[in-house]
Amino acid sequence: MNIIENLKEANLRGRGGAGFPTWQKWQMVKDAVSPDGRKFVVCNVSEGEPAVSKDGYILEREPEVVISGIALAMEAVAAQKGFLYLRKDYYGKHKDKLAKIIGDKPIEIFCEPCGYLGGEETTLLESIEEKRCEPRIKPPFPPQVGLFGCPTVINNLETLYFAAKIANGEYKNTRFYSVSGDTACPGAFECGDNLTVREVLEKTGNLPQAEFFVQAGGGASGTILLDSDLDKPLTGAGSIVVHDLAKTDLRKLGLSWAEFFVKENCGKCVPCREGVFCLKEIFSQEPLDIARAQDIVKLLAAASFCPFGKGVANSFGSLINKLMAK
């Protein structure tokens, strides 16, 4: 059985957040016709979302598996070149070690210049092409028209790590979780796939005693979940930030996100550039103009150019609707 079949059987889905079936992405690139014969594989380690640290955790402990995962994907789709797209601090910390592991394999270690935006796959492609860090219009999607116009697999580090594990027969339906915030033992954990948020907190010894809420899926763009929402599977990038309800100033929490997004958004589209700035202004003063914030959230969710704006809408929308608009 070939690797793509194996991935399909193991039902491995992208661990970067979107959860797209990995085998399908590889199959698309394998089948795609390249205009100049080239195909690429990019391992995305931009891990720009605050409170997500699982890719760094894996890179620290099992870099060999990651590199073999990239090589595996390259072989599976017949790509001539791979890129290891590293967050700036990961690059500084691990590049020498990684270069040794890579040896003479055609895998380039690339230091990402985009910050948070590098997590968006077409922005990542633009940055490797030395263009402005901005998303492309989709379609076409990267498996059809990717890096330098060629079919390209872009997978999160964890995805390629587990692809390698699957190839070696070592996959036990696990995934990595990052837990942080007002909690007993924060960190990265490997547990079973498809756990609910409550199960992750319980299994990692992080279920708080005091009244709390969590932000699931990323420390900036993740969704706010209350106690009653915790029995749903944790999706996305597998991150949970725990907030002690009594200790948390909701306006300041929103402001910290807004400041992050103002700094990190690319500025290409109006909803993000202006909407995020406006959210920062709104959350900078009291009383909060909740109605305007809701209008902006609605616009970001419906009309922003790339998933970045939808992420902003996700966190602000759930914060406002679940905790502030009562």
Partner 1 sequence: MKIIIDGKEIEAVEGQSVLEAAKNAGIEIPALCYHPDLCVKANCRLCVVEIEGIPVPAAACSAKIKEGMKIVTDSDNLKSLRKTNLELLFGEHRRNCPQCIWQGKCALLKYAAVFKANPMAVPLRKPEPDIVKFGPVILDRSKCIECRNCVDMCARQTGSRRGTDTEMKSDGFLEVEGQGKDIHISPSCDAKKDCIYCGQCIVHCPVGALDSESPVDEIDALLKDRKGKTMVIQFAPSIRTSIGEMFGMEYGMNVTGKLAAALKKLGFDKVFDVNMSADLTTVEEAKELVWRVTEKKPLPMFTSCCPGWMRYLEFYRPDMIPNITTVKSPQNMLGSLIKTYWAEKNNVKPENIIVVSVMPCTAKKYDVTKPEEKINELSPIDYVLTTRELGRLLQKNRINLKEMEQGAADDPFGVYTGAGTIFGATGGVTEAATRTAYWLITGKNLEKVECENVRGIAGLKKAVVEINGIKLKVGIANGMENAKIILDDLDKDPKAYDYIEIMACPGGCIGGGGQPLPVNDDIRKKRAAGLYSDDCSKKIRFAHESPAVKEVYDEYFKGDEHKIHEILHTSYAQKPKSEIIK
Q: Which residues bind partner 1 (CB under 8 A)?
A: 132-133, 137, 262-271, 273-278, 281, 292, 295-296, 298-299, 301-305, 310
Instruction: Give the alpha-carbon dihedral of 185, 190, 196, 201, to 10 degrees.
Output: -10
Q: Output the smallest distance, CB 116 to partner 1, in A.
A: 11
DSSP-derived 3-state class of residue 214: strand
At its nearest, how many Å lie between partner 1 and the CB of residue 319? 19
Q: Which is nearer to partner 1, 8 or 273 (CB)?
A: 273
**Residues 29 and 39: beta-carbon distance below 8 Å:** yes
Rank residues 156 and 265 by Cβ distance to partner 1 and give the closer one. 265
Q: Which is nearer to partner 1, 98 or 133 (CB)?
A: 133
Query: Three-state SS for 289?
Result: coil
Both tokens assigned to 82: 């791979």
Q: Which residues contact 89 (CB under 8 A, 6 or more apart)?
A: none
Q: Which is nearer to partner 1, 112 or 158 (CB)?
A: 112
Instruction: Give me the least distance between CB of 82 and partner 1, in Å please.
Output: 25
Residues 6 or more apart whose CB falls under 8 angstroms from that of 120 comprise 135, 306, 307, 308
For strand 223-225 and strand 212-216, is the pairing parallel, antiparallel, or unpaired? antiparallel
Shortest distance, position 266 Cβ to partner 1, whole Å: 6
Distance of alpha carbon 232 from alpha carbon 51, whole angstroms: 20
Closest separation between CB of residue 264 and partner 1, Å?
Answer: 7
What's the closest the beta carbon of residue 325 comes to partner 1, in angstroms? Answer: 17
Shorter beta-carbon distance to partner 1: residue 59 or 269: 269
Q: Which is nearer to partner 1, 97 or 292 (CB)?
A: 292
Q: Give the list of residues 6+ apart from residue 146 with CB closer than 8 angstroms, or none.
A: 29, 40, 125, 152, 154
Cβ atoms of 188 and 94 closer than 8 Å: no
